[in-house]
A and B are shown apart, each in its own frame.
Chain A
């Protein structure tokens, strides 16, 4: 059974760095063809793709946010970590991690999401 779960702070202050973890089970990031992505959704707004990492440690980022994002993986812990620097209130959103299937380019399994509020 494939599951993903996001964890991290619910509240961060402006200018701080956000660190989120995605812990998954039911598959391994050592397996060729496995990708994990981060996607966010501000309250009442649309989904926005942020970043993606693959089994070979190749990393891909949203062009507009590239300078602020870092995605990494800890294969031994079955975790993918996203850091976002210089947080701003507009970054308030539910952050989702999702498994990406490149045999058709789609996000097939999603975590339940974690709401991050940026406020002083």
Chain B
């Protein structure tokens, strides 16, 4: 049950797109289409922004999108906004009724 691998930080200017990667193994991302992504502002609880690899919950801005290829999932924020500055975590089912999170990515809006 090793943590999924995410870049420690990603930055971009307002209006630019950024992509955060999340790399797992054949045992988790590579087998299940069950990746979710969470946004966490400082001092706050995480908030779901993507589930089932690419689905967006109601109320979440359409400038968040998700995808997956093989053992790597990606979260793209198109048109970066100041309020998007936060930490982002991926999460995947890891088999045997266990779940694993990524190490987190700090997004900075320049």
A63 close to chain B: CB less than 8 A: yes
- The answer to whether B55 touches A104, judged by C-beta atoms less than 8 angstroms apart, is yes
- The answer to whether A49 touches B34, judged by C-beta atoms less than 8 angstroms apart, is no
Q: Which residues of A contact B34 (CB under 8 A)?
A: 104-105
Q: Which residues of B contact A108 (CB under 8 A)?
A: 48, 57
Which of A23-31, A76-84, A109-117 is the interface stretch? A109-117
A24–B38 CA distance with the chains assembled, in angstroms: 21
- The answer to whether A105 touches B36, judged by C-beta atoms less than 8 angstroms apart, is yes
Name the prevailing secondary structure of the A interface residues.
strand
Which residues from chain B sit less than 8 Å from chain A, CB to CB?
A: 1, 3, 32, 34, 36, 38, 44-48, 51-52, 55, 57, 89, 91, 93, 96-104
Task: Across the interface, name the chain A residue whose C-beta is closest to B103.
Answer: A46
Q: Say how far A37's CB is from chain B's closest CB, in angstroms.
A: 8
A82–B101 CA distance with the chains assembled, in angstroms: 20
Highest count of chain B CB atoms <10 Å: which of A46, A49, A110: A46
Q: Which residues of B contact A111 (CB under 8 A)?
A: 45
A62–B96 CA distance with the chains assembled, in angstroms: 10
A10 close to chain B: CB less than 8 A: no
Q: Which of B46, B47, B57 contacts A47 (CB 8 A)?
A: B46
CB 8 Å contact bits of A20-49 with B (1 = contact, 0 = none): 000000000000000001010000011111
- The answer to whether B102 touches A104, judged by C-beta atoms less than 8 angstroms apart, is no
A52 close to chain B: CB less than 8 A: yes
Task: Across the interface, name the chain B residue whose C-beta is closest to A66.
Answer: B98
Q: Which residues of B contact A106 (CB under 8 A)?
A: 36, 48, 51-52, 91
- The answer to whether A64 touches B1, judged by C-beta atoms less than 8 angstroms apart, is yes
A60 close to chain B: CB less than 8 A: yes
